[in-house]
Structure 1
Amino acid sequence: MSEYPSSAEINIIGVIRSSFTDLNNCPKQGDEGGVEAWVEVLPQYAAGLESLQAGQNLTLLSWLHEADRHVLAVHPRGDVNRPKRGVFNTRSPARPNPIGLHEVTLLETEGARLRVAPLEVLDGTPVIDIKTSYDQRKPVAGAEAAGIPPRQAAIIRQACHTAWQRTLLSGFNGNISLRINGDTCLVTATGSTKGDLQPEDLALVDIATGKHIAGGKASSETAMHLAIYRQQPEAQAVVHTHPPKLLALGVRVAPADMLRIPIYESDLIRERMTCIPAHAPGTQELADAAGAAAAQHEAIHMEKHGLVCWAATPREALALSEEIEHIAGMHLDSLC
């Protein structure tokens, strides 16, 4: 039997410059609060960056230099209430060879420096390789999908399907968007079925001007999403749903009494949510009212219409929507 080498040499090709300076503040994954960061490539490897262009999706391979290399079993995501697994059945940084895989979008090139997002690693983390993302090899269905970033498109498709499964969306109603960088957002297209979103059912839009950049025709509620992004810089995702229990509750009680029941969760949610008066769907009046409300609140109940939540990720915005719908159900039950 042939013998395998016990070690291999790895060349560090660069370093990550990030706003994360405390390991405890780093998100678990890039789509859970990752930030823009710079990858500084060493001069001797700069030639390898030739032909890279802004807008490409990349896979960064980093060396997680502060990870424990003597661990073979961990609690998934550090949750001690979950049974331990072998590290090769997790994405834990603690492992014999602590290689990090990060799916990012290239936002800008500046000589041998790359500005990318979203990235979740510590400032000073070494980089060992850069590859074009595997998903760029996959065929894109429909000419309408040209120019749509595939990784973010997959995030929105998954969020829409999850919202549909939880009955927060049905048929053609509702819409979800994701801020791609400081300038653009990806939003569901008008007339798209959210439970079965297709590649052509997304549109890329300029946040400042509302100009269509790529993809299908943007949702009629896009103005509301843009207003929220403009008024709330912390918003990275906006989820507009039509929760049936919340809407039914709005028929039964006045806006000031929404979710006002004697449980702790109700008080906590009410601090995060506000109500705005009824405006016709798709109007600038609705967009302006929602944008102004988003400056102070993460959840906005739109009378006679639905709910819009913003967060760092679609998953977090959906979780807040689901909590509100759950409490609305309890409130309805208490009225019987």
Structure 2
Amino acid sequence: MSDDAFATATAAIIAAGRRLDHFGWVPATAGNISVRLPDGTLAITRSGGHKGFLQPEGVIRVDLAGRPLRPGDRPSAETGLHCGIYRRFPDAGAVLHGHSVPVTVLSRAGTEAIRLEGYELLKAFPGLPTHAAAVTLPIFDNAQDIPHLQSVVEDRWAAMAEIPPGYLIRGHGIYVWGADMPAALMRLEALEFMLACEMETRRR
């Protein structure tokens, strides 16, 4: 893999971190961001640090098992969830994980999923050309055992007729992915808008 490819991925991750920070979706050390590199390895944010103030040294490389490729680098504990998405979806080129207020609040409601229906922004997702559609976002119980959590996610994917545009971890955050960073960002922004609307509707 060329240094240019890693530099390009790092720049995309830094820009995404600043955008997520602008919306308040990655407070403190929350969230993580990754990009699949041409050689199949990943560029991903280092453990800790504020994603709105990322510098190039805040992005490292790991293999598809989440192992750092340079001694001393420490990836996020949730790197395994990024790796699981890339393994399951060969077309995924970027993964975003944020901790917004709507995601955190709605995921704590005790349900197994959130259904989003009738929103104009559903058209942001491939295969949904009209607002007269619906998507279901599964919610998984939070766990510190990331391999186990990833296995639970994979079991749910296997049982679903259609793969959702993302998923929530209860009281924690959201994971989305896309073919590249712009696609992942569009998906996250669309979901965050609809989830904010859901929260406001339920509050009223």
TM-score by length of 1: 0.51
Q: Aligned-pair RMSD on alpha carbons?
A: 2.5
Higher helix share: 2
**Larger Rg over CA atoms:** 1
1:287 is aligned with what amino acid? Q
1:54-203 alignment runs, 5 A limit: 54-57=1-4, 105=5, 149-203=6-60
> Where does residue 231 of structure 1 map in the other structure?
88
Instruction: Deviation per CA, 1:46-93: give whole Å up to 9, x if none.
Output: xxxxxxxx5243xxxxxxxxxxxxxxxxxxxxxxxxxxxxxxxxxxxx
Q: Residues 312 and 261 (structure 1 numbering): CA distance in 2 closer, same or farther, change over 3 Å?
A: closer
How far apart, CA to CA, are the structure 2 residues paired with 1:242 and 1:160?
A: 12
1:189 is aligned with what amino acid? R
How far apart, CA to CA, are the structure 1 residues paired with 2:11 and 2:157?
A: 26
> Where does residue 107 of structure 2 map in the other structure?
250
How far apart, CA to CA, are the structure 1 residues paired with 2:156 and 2:35?
A: 19
Greater RCO (CA < 8 Å, at least 6 residues apart):
2
Higher strand share: 1
Identity score, percent: 25
How far apart, CA to CA, are the structure 2 residues paired with 1:158 and 1:282?
A: 30
Instruction: Deviation per CA, 1:15-60: give whole Å up to 9, x if none.
Output: xxxxxxxxxxxxxxxxxxxxxxxxxxxxxxxxxxxxxxx5243xxx
Q: Residues 55 and 261 (structure 1 numbering): CA distance in 2 closer, same or farther, change over 3 Å?
A: closer
Whether the aligned pair in 2 keeps the contact of 1:228 and 1:291 (CA below 8 Å) is no
> Where does residue 216 of structure 1 map in the other structure?
73
Which segments of 5 or more consecutive residues in structure 2 lack a partner in the other structure?
123-130
Kindly indicate whether residue 159 of structure 2 is the aligned counterpart of residue 303 of structure 1: no
1:277 is aligned with what amino acid? F
Quote the offset at 1:172 in angstroms: 0.3
Instruction: Deviation per CA, 1:171-211: give whole Å up to 9, x if none.
Output: 1011000000252001101012101012221110111x332
Which segments of 5 or more consecutive residues in structure 1 lack a partner in the other structure?
1-53, 58-104, 106-148
Whether the aligned pair in 1 keeps the contact of 2:107 and 2:168 (CA below 8 Å) is no
Q: Residues 163 and 269 (structure 1 numbering): CA distance in 2 closer, same or farther, change over 3 Å?
A: farther
How far apart, CA to CA, are the structure 1 residues paired with 2:201 and 2:169?
A: 22
Q: Residues 171 and 322 (structure 1 numbering): CA distance in 2 closer, same or farther, change over 3 Å?
A: same
Kindly indicate whether residue 149 of structure 2 is the aligned counterpart of residue 286 of structure 1: yes
Higher mean Cα deviation, 315-324 or 234-243? 315-324
Whether the aligned pair in 2 keeps the contact of 1:177 and 1:188 (CA below 8 Å) is yes
SS of the equivalent of 1:213 reads: coil
> Where does residue 181 of structure 2 map in the other structure?
314
Whether the aligned pair in 2 keeps the contact of 1:247 and 1:305 (CA below 8 Å) is yes
Q: Residues 212 and 260 (structure 1 numbering): CA distance in 2 closer, same or farther, change over 3 Å?
A: closer
TM-score by length of 2: 0.81
SS of the equivalent of 2:189 reads: helix
Whether the aligned pair in 2 keeps the contact of 1:178 and 1:185 (CA below 8 Å) is yes
1:195 is aligned with what amino acid? G
Q: Residues 227 and 298 (structure 1 numbering): CA distance in 2 closer, same or farther, change over 3 Å?
A: same
1:324 is aligned with what amino acid? L
Quote the offset at 1:328 in angstroms: 1.6
SS of the equivalent of 1:212 reads: coil
Whether the aligned pair in 2 keeps the contact of 1:210 and 1:223 (CA below 8 Å) is yes
What count of residue pairs does the alignment treat as equivalent? 190
